[in-house]
């Protein structure tokens, strides 16, 4: 796990346009897994395009703190 917000941003910057697996921890016993594309990174947040059925995408943004605190996990494919 990255130790700082800067490391998380740099890691995402290195994977712009690539497919990743996003795992969100909704509650204690519920996790949701998505395939997503890293679209953009900003100083405080990053944007992912979540793959939906067919050729559609749903866009979502997350903060780097979400990764640091394990609210979400990102696995690079």
Cβ 30 vs Cβ 7: under 8 Å:
no
pLDDT truncated to tens, each residue of the chain (77 aa)?
Answer: 567 999 999 999 999 999 999 999 888 889 999 999 999 999 999 999 998 877 777 999 999 999 999 899 999 98
Q: Which residue has the tokens 């997503």?
A: 36
- List of residues 6+ apart from 61 with CB closer than 8 A: 45, 46, 47, 48
Cβ 64 vs Cβ 8: under 8 Å:
yes
pTM for this predicted structure? 0.86
Distance of alpha carbon 64 from alpha carbon 24, whole angstroms: 13
């Amino acid at each position: 796990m990255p130790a700082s917000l800067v490391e998380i941003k740099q890691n995402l910057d290195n994977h712009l346009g690539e497919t990743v697996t996003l795992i969100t921890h909704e509650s204690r016993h519920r996790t949701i897994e998505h395939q997503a594309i890293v679209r953009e990174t900003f100083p405080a947040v990053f944007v992912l395009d979540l793959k939906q059925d067919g050729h559609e995408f749903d866009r979502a943004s997350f903060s780097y703190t979400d990764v640091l605190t394990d609210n979400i996990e990102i696995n690079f494919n």
